[in-house]
Structure 1
Amino acid sequence: MNTIKRRAAIKDELQNQKLISANQLARKYGVSRQTVVGDIALLRAQGEPIISTVNGYKYQEESTSYHGVVVCQHTFEQTREELENIISLGGEVVDVLIEHSVYGQIVGTLGLANQSDINDFMSRVKNENHKLLASLTNGIHLHNISCKDEAAFNKIQQRLDELGFLYHDKT
């Protein structure tokens, strides 16, 4: 299969599946993972709304959901509790963002929508010995959260505040 046909096949695959990893695509098309990453980058450059999540690639869906942003600060050990509370109240953790003193905004796409997503994310962080982006900013980070409406978002915010996870400027 030539490069153009492979990219078209990858595009079709992403349009017909909810989520697929670069490794799965590489195995299917007999190329390296890095080749697939390059193919995805070129498809994005052509305007395809492909996003990368912790579990693979997917097409960005048109959203009619409510989106809100929370600013949090907590320890590494409290990360699972933060994420589980957001999910339990009907939220999806779209991404994490930090304000870095050298690089400006750094965003990590998460797409955490259920307990399985959280388990996978936390397992990768722990087992692969990664650090969270928030470790660069003394635990301060932002989350874009998608949920059904503003009332659901307000409940999420209230719960995070009750748990002491919302950042409050001490000055």
Structure 2
Amino acid sequence: MKKERKLLGEERRAWILEYLKQNNGPITGTALAKKANVSRQVIVGDITLLKAHNEPIIATSQGYLYMPVMSSERVEKIVACCHERDITEEELNIIVDHGVTVKDVKVEHPVYGDLTASIMVSNRQEVNAFLKEINKTNAPLLSQLTAGMHLHTLSAPNRQMIERAEAALSKAGILVEEN
């Protein structure tokens, strides 16, 4: 796309949607803004409108990602974890090393109720990029609001992969066990 031409309204949103669909990885709002020759805030508004039209776009720490509905063959499970901030990399790497995707993190806030944030990491490179962004912005982890207690939605091609990841988390003392 030529930078000189400014895309307007529906045309820009259609372009954003197609651009996100064609890319396998996340795209930052800034990158989309430069390509569309608009401000980042315009892109944020466009993404909001696309989400309002039920487009499966999520905002991750690395940028926007088009997430088509996963095949019914994928299995999801919510697991409870508890650890200090400095164990986050170990936790995420244990999970992705078992071929499992960490979709999100959820905590129960005493005032706001459930707070959920997208993570969407499936490999060590994505874990490193996520943690780099956390450290660069000095942003607190949601789990810091709840003394380390949090939930993750895990996704994998089969239940056995999730079970192996859970066993490794348990061995590392990260998984909250049911009594």
TM-score, scaled to structure 1? 0.94
Match of 1:30 among 22, 30, 37: 37
Q: Which moved more, 1:89-98 or 1:118-127?
A: 118-127
Match of 1:49 among 41, 50, 56: 56
Tell me if the contact between 2:101 and 2:154 (Cα under 8 Å) persists in the aligned partners.
yes
- SS of residue in 1 equivalent to 2:51: helix
Q: Which runs of 5+ in 1 are unaligned?
A: none
2:22 alignment partner in structure 1: 16
1:159 alignment partner in structure 2: 168
State the one-letter code of the partner of 1:123. Answer: K
Q: Which moved more, 1:119-128 or 1:78-87?
A: 119-128
State the one-letter code of the partner of 2:170. Answer: D
1:138 alignment partner in structure 2: 147
- Point out 4+ residue stretches in structure 1 off by more than 6 angstroms: none
Identical pairs, percent? 36
- SS of residue in 1 equivalent to 2:135: helix
Structure 1 position 127, deviation (Å): 2.1
- SS of residue in 2 equivalent to 1:121: helix
2:4 alignment partner in structure 1: none
Tell me if the contact between 2:57 and 2:66 (Cα under 8 Å) persists in the aligned partners.
yes
Structure 1 position 169, deviation (Å): 6.7
Whether 1:125 aligns to 2:134 is yes
Distance 1:89 1:47 in 2: 31
- SS of residue in 1 equivalent to 2:104: strand
RMSD between aligned alpha carbons? Answer: 1.4
Structure 1 position 10, deviation (Å): 0.8
- SS of residue in 1 equivalent to 2:12: helix
- SS of residue in 2 equivalent to 1:154: helix
Distance 1:159 1:112 in 2: 17
1:147 alignment partner in structure 2: 156
1:5-62 Cα offsets, whole Å, 9 max, x none, are 1111111112222232211101101111111010000011122121222222222222
What is the aligned residue count?
170
Distance 2:59 2:138 in 1: 21
TM-score, scaled to structure 2? 0.90
Distance 1:18 1:127 in 2: 24
State the one-letter code of the partner of 1:4. Answer: E
Match of 1:114 among 110, 118, 123: 123
